[in-house]
Structures are given as structure tokens and as C-alpha cells.
């Protein structure tokens, strides 16, 4: 297993955990598809990942709650 697969990706809307970012994204879109919050989380996740590929789109709980990713160092 490669090192980028080791981190867990937790769903911010339920207790589910996924091995990959794409699995979490599919879960959000399928299980929480009618949630406007889920759509915004997917969008935030993608913007953060595109802005800082090293971070692989990981957002802190505070960033998710505020809806604004903080700048990377």
C-alpha cells in the first residue's frame, strides 16, 4: 500500500471513514446527495486539493465549519 493511501478520510456528515479521497467524494455525492452542505464540502475539498496538492485536499474541522480553507504555509 502506498503512503498516500494510509491517511483516513472521514465523512464530516456521518461516522463513515474511507481509505481514499475519491471514495469519500463518492460517498458524499451518493449518501448525502440531497444535502447542500455535502455539495459545498465536495467543492471545498476539490478547491483545497487543487490549490495545495501536497495536502491532498485535507481540511481541518474548523475550515469545514467556517467554509473557508486557510492558506498553506
**CA–CA gap between residue 13 and residue 71 (Å, rounded):** 24
pLDDT tens, position by position, 23-60:
998 998 888 877 777 778 888 888 888 876 555 445 55
57 or 14, which is more confident:
14
Cβ atoms of residues 9 and 17 within 8 Å: yes
State if pTM tops 0.95.
Answer: no
Domain definitions of the chain by residue range: 3-65
Beta strand segments in 1-73, E: 9-10, 17-18
Amino acid at each position: 500500500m502506498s503512503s498516500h493511501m494510509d491517511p483516513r478520510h472521514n465523512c464530516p456528515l456521518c461516522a463513515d471513514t474511507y481509505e481514499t479521497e475519491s471514495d469519500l467524494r463518492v460517498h458524499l455525492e451518493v449518501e448525502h446527495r440531497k444535502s447542500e452542505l455535502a455539495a459545498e464540502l465536495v467543492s471545498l475539498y476539490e478547491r483545497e486539493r487543487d490549490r495545495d496538492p501536497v495536502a491532498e485536499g485535507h481540511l481541518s474541522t474548523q475550515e469545514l465549519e467556517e467554509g473557508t480553507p486557510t492558506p498553506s504555509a
